[in-house]
Amino acid sequence: MTTIETVGIIGAGTMGNGIAQACASSGLRVVMVDINEAAVQKGVATIAGSLDRLIKKEKITTADKDATLARIQGSTHYDDLKAAQLVIEAATENLELKIKILRQLDGLLPAETLIATNTSSISITQLAAVTSRADRFIGMHFFNPVPMMALVEIIRGLQTSDATHDAVHALALALGKTPITVKNAPGFVVNRILVPMINEAFFVLGEGLAEAEAIDAGMKLGCNQPIGPLALADMIGLDVCLAVMEVYLKEFGDSKYRPSPLLKEMVAAGRLGRKTGQGVYKY
């Protein structure tokens, strides 16, 4: 089984810098690559800020912060990824872009290097097939914010080998995360259940069964959810929730995934949630 000591990361954005922080905090070396120096520096600055908050909370020391940052090499050169035993792709969610990146990586990395993708919605089996190492390709779906969230969904494509699975499973444990292993299918497991639940909350709101605050209070207090589904939709973005439902409807061909008319109306009105200042709630 491949032992992973250096992790390469494509993308220094929300997820890329979070994964970099989680890896470096656990003692691994990290090479984090983005398209330009500004994006790399922004990612590194975000990690430094996150570590500063942990110092304030007395969870880590200044020496821990310095050691963690020293293990992270920011770069704009894919060549620097050759040092890694695993490269995790966490670039923008776009099929054509991911195919381009994976072909580039596949041509560059040593044959034994494992490749993972952090995609939320693209088929792992389809992305694996783009490479010449489909058995050494896997989904590693981290949750946002990565340093705080305990779960990693490990998604096996049809072609993923046991050795590849076992290596990334061991890595997730080494990061202090709890991995669950799932098969490839739209939404994997967590979002397959979560997003239709959010969609159902919009049906309930649209049918006038209860006010938004009452729906959210019901799910918080009755189901012990830390946040109500409508408030969560405002955080995720209503457009993102709608797009996910449309993918499920198309991929499964099952009308149980039809988007709520109210959700569609709100997206059409530009009420996308926190990012536009108004969704179900006003901000």
Ligand X SMILES: NC(=O)c1ccc[n+]([C@@H]2O[C@H](COP(=O)([O-])OP(=O)(O)OC[C@H]3O[C@@H](n4cnc5c(N)ncnc54)[C@H](O)[C@@H]3O)[C@@H](O)[C@H]2O)c1
- What are the residue numbers of the active site? 120, 141, 153, 191
N- to C-terminal Cα distance for the chain?
A: 49
Using CB under 6 A, which residues numbered 6 to 45 contact ligand X? 10-16, 33-35, 39
Using CB under 6 A, which residues numbered 177 to 216 contact ligand X? none
Position 21, amino acid: Q
Cβ-based nearer residue to ligand X, 142 or 257:
142
Q: Is 144 in the site for ligand X (CB under 6 A)?
A: yes
Q: Which class for 186: exposed (0-12), middle (13-18), buried (19 or more C-beta within 10 A)?
A: middle
For the record, the structure tokens of 272 come out as 């996308």
Q: Is 120 in the site for ligand X (CB under 6 A)?
A: yes
C-alpha span between 191 and 184 (Å, rounded): 12
Phi–psi pair at 32, nearest 5 degrees: -110, 115
Q: Is 118 in the site for ligand X (CB under 6 A)?
A: yes
Among 32, 72, 86, 101, binds ligand X (CB under 6 A): 101
CA 154 to chain CA centroid, Å, is 11
For the record, the structure tokens of 120 come out as 């939320």
Q: Is 228 in the site for ligand X (CB under 6 A)?
A: no
Cβ-based nearer residue to ligand X, 23 or 204:
23
Using CB under 6 A, which residues numbered 37 to 96 contact ligand X? 39, 90-93
Cβ-based nearer residue to ligand X, 132 or 144:
144
CB atoms within 10 A of CB 53: 11
Cβ-based nearer residue to ligand X, 119 or 205:
119
Within 13 Å of residue 200, how many CA atoms lie on the same side as its CB?
A: 10
Report, in Å, the least distance between residue 143 CB and ligand X.
Answer: 6
Q: Which residues form the interface with ligand X (CB under 6 A)?
A: 10-16, 33-35, 39, 90-93, 97, 101, 118-120, 141-142, 144
